[in-house]
Amino acid sequence: MNTQGIAVVTGASSGIGKVYADRFAKRGYDLLLVARRKDRLNELSKELQQKYGVKVDTLVADLTKKEDLEKVSTTIASNDKITVLVNNAGVAVVGPSAQIPIDDLDSQLDLNVRSVTHLSHAILPGFIKRNSGTLINIASVVAFFTLPISSSYSASKAHVLLYTMGLRDELANTGVRVQAVLPASTSTEIWDISGVGLHNLNPETVMTAENLVDAALAGLDQGETVTLPSVEDYSLWEAFDGARLKLAQATQTKRPASRYGLNK
């Protein structure tokens, strides 16, 4: 009998989401898999049920569409057996900002920002009521820097990072866990879909989706809120986060900085 509950994984039909589905099934969770591609979802569902003997339900949805996002939100909000939500679905729209069609930028915001926020908002009341549950949001290392071709993508992932860190502080005195996972270059379809092409990357910088997810889950088990699977020296993040907090404190004054020559 399953005592782990149900793990929901968005973007589950390939890449990182597919590996998360496998790993949570291996841990004994039943699954609710969400993605656009029905054929892939059905194939994965059969595979995981046969492999691990867990129950796997699927929900075909395009999370850039309001009606589909509402459908998924309602489904997960009403199911108190859900104990894990992995907000993995995302897209990378890259290139010079002025040359990217505005519809593509809107779709990226809808998927990377709006769907993560809406689905988190849907699941959290139940988690808080039960004082348990795990929310995993997939961000990116570009959440704290940007490239000339990644302005909007980086900004969308910065939202995921700061949103998750804020939730950590909100939920500090509860049994609800939150984690932001920040992949660097990972071997998934996103590179070819974005137009960059996986073959154009240095193979020494590209992590497999399997290693990425296994490291992320190890970080979750160790209690990390922010997990950077490819960063060996975690003190780099701690120093960065500490500097961020010092900067935040330094903003708290009514006086303009002296370099502007306004103080009298």
Q: Is 153 a catalytic residue?
A: yes
Residue 144 domain-assigned? yes
* Residue given tokens 């595979």 in the structure block: 47
Regions of the chain with pLDDT less than 70 = 1, 186-205, 263-264
Angle at 241 between CA 223 and CA 255, to 5 degrees: 140
Name the 3-class secondary structure at 186.
Answer: strand
- pLDDT tens digits, 65-81: 999 999 999 999 999 99
Q: How far apart are the C-alpha atoms of 154 and 1, rounded to whole Å?
A: 42
Q: How far apart are the C-alpha atoms of 111 and 113, rounded to whole Å?
A: 6
pTM for this entry: 0.93
Residue 257 domain-assigned? no
Q: What per-residue confidence (pLDDT) applies to 183?
A: 95
Residue 186 domain-assigned? yes
DSSP H helices, 96-188, are 102-109, 115-130, 151-170
Q: How far apart are the C-alpha atoms of 49 and 122, rounded to whole Å?
A: 27
Q: Which domain holds residue 143?
A: 6-233
Domain count of the fold of the chain = 1
Q: What per-residue confidence (pLDDT) applies to 195?
A: 53
Q: What per-residue confidence (pLDDT) applies to 216?
A: 97
Inter-residue contact 139 to 157 (CB < 8 Å): yes
The enclosing domain of 78 has a CATH number of: 3.40.50.720
Residue 263 domain-assigned? no
Neighbours of 100 (CB within 10 A): 17
Residue 243 domain-assigned? no
Quote the strand ranges of the chain, DSSP E: 6-10, 30-35, 56-60, 82-87, 133-138, 176-181, 186-187, 207-208, 226-227
Inter-residue contact 59 to 33 (CB < 8 Å): yes
Residue tagged active-site, from 20, 29, 52, 153? 153
Residue 174 domain-assigned? yes
Q: What per-residue confidence (pLDDT) applies to 201?
A: 53
